[in-house]
Structure 1
């Protein structure tokens, strides 16, 4: 059985949808905080059990009978996420899981200034010490593009801190590839990168956006502290603004530059590009 955590979230839920196209529903289990939100999966024959990273006993029940477990990483800024991940890893091992997959992050290496990298590095170390086979899916940045580009549609400018090349990746592509790995016979050990096939800068994106809209979109580089001050002025808590700043700092330091052909291989096609995603956003 394949058990997926976080299956009512965007990445986990889409992964389950793709699994349902590849394996019988009775071979899929999910562990969720609120089982009522997963009724649509239960109705299709998926085993639904309540389980959260805060409750190791419930996790062991949710993971019972699992051959593989997909651990979707936590993102609560107020929680000890590494300890929560430890609970999940230990529960998977106790349940007898042969293989643990974990949704990590591209560039999860020492020195990366993007703070969540530390969580992924520590979790990968826990996986390495777990005694189970494991795979860390180091996913390329798959959040909404506007999250990093800012309100360029309204302003006509991409006014953000200095960046660097990033293979912005479609979350749906990552979910599909994750399902391919879970349902397939190919073995992946340790960390693997799942990214779009090309990396772009904000300067590149500004040119793409200009072509798509027929109006010039300008790229303006803001000083780090100026950007933080502007974020605070719009209501973003300073702690969050400074956390987000570390992402731009990591990008310009080259931690997200590398691309990998693996995502395309797993999909059997080229992943969606940043240009395609931007075009869809403009057309919406």
Structure 2
């Protein structure tokens, strides 16, 4: 039996592997990857690599073994995820895995925004498969915002169409720790966890925290949805994805991402990462990137 993480070279997958390695022998962990070349660091740590691709169902036949505990990390290709996830679910059922944990979205069947649609269908496919399941309904990653600070700092403004709606986000590492706990602990089969940060914040508060930590005035510009859409597409965001982002802000207005259930902290056994800590980490990374980009090299001299 192995604990198997799909999408293991992605941002969340790598963090889950890190969490697992802290408590589980490396030889009991397997990473499903599309390219072994991108996972040489995982192999160097003793993690077994299994090559498969969500888009090529035939490759998934050897990805799982009887008795495995599997984490299905949702795909990133919006519009293709149901078929991709279904291929993984069918392969897992054929192999006879002992657990299929799935990273869905906060609210599960009650989430009515566009980005939730494929997650809801995937949960239904898992239920219909009869597999022992654990639903990890992830709320928003704080990094969804803090990883894109460059334009915010350039224009001294946070732009959104979320009004004073609140977001109970948590750091990606918090969600990774919860996934590892669900895969290694007992009593998680047949459970659906609504995972979110301990404290919900508004964009006004987010802008205030950025202002506090940078010593600059960062404003929150709340704009109408159609204006927000135009700003995103004008910045090069593809129209379909821009529409999804604006729709998410509408969900924020309706309070759908504000729930603070406590499930995430209970699963991990620790408080979730405060917004201020995530902002500080992002600003440090941004400052480092700017320094590296602007430091003269020998060739410049």
Whether these two folds match at TM > 0.5 is yes
Shift of 1:110: 4.2
Deviates more, 1:61-70 or 1:96-105: 61-70
Q: Which runs of 5+ in 1 are unaligned?
A: none
Shift of 1:139: 0.8
Shift of 1:44: 2.7
Change (3 A) 1:213 1:148: closer
SS at match of 2:197: coil
Shift of 1:58: 2.1
1:139 corresponds in structure 2 to 138
1:93 corresponds in structure 2 to 93
2:292 corresponds in structure 1 to none
Return the alpha-carbon distance in structure 2 between the equivalents of residues 111 and 41 of structure 1.
35
* Contact 1:149–1:202 (CA under 8 A) maintained in structure 2: no
* Contact 2:146–2:279 (CA under 8 A) maintained in structure 1: no
Shift of 1:149: 7.6
Shift of 1:111: 5.6
2:219 corresponds in structure 1 to 218
Return the alpha-carbon distance in structure 2 between the equivalents of residues 203 and 150 of structure 1.
18
Show the 5 A alignment for 1:125-274.
125-142=124-141, 143-146=143-146, 151-163=151-163, 164-274=165-275
SS at match of 1:129: helix
Aligned residues: 282
1:19 corresponds in structure 2 to 20
SS at match of 1:40: helix
Deviates more, 1:130-139 or 1:259-268: 259-268
Return the alpha-carbon distance in structure 2 between the equivalents of residues 60 and 72 of structure 1.
17
Return the alpha-carbon distance in structure 2 between the equivalents of residues 152 and 12 of structure 1.
28
* Contact 2:134–2:188 (CA under 8 A) maintained in structure 1: no
Return the alpha-carbon distance in structure 2 between the equivalents of residues 255 and 225 of structure 1.
21
1:46 corresponds to 2:34: no
Return the alpha-carbon distance in structure 1 between the equivalents of residues 270 and 248 of structure 2.
29
Structure 1 consecutive aligned stretches of length 4 or more whose deviation exceeds 6 Å: 147-150
1:61 corresponds to 2:48: no
* Contact 1:108–1:118 (CA under 8 A) maintained in structure 2: no
SS at match of 2:257: coil
2:107 corresponds in structure 1 to 107
Query: RMSD in angstroms over aligned alpha carbons?
Result: 1.9
Give the alignment's TM-score, normalised by structure 1. 0.92
- Deviation string for 1:142-173 (max 9, x for gaps)? 14324688832222222221241111210011
Q: Which runs of 5+ in 2 are unaligned?
A: 286-301
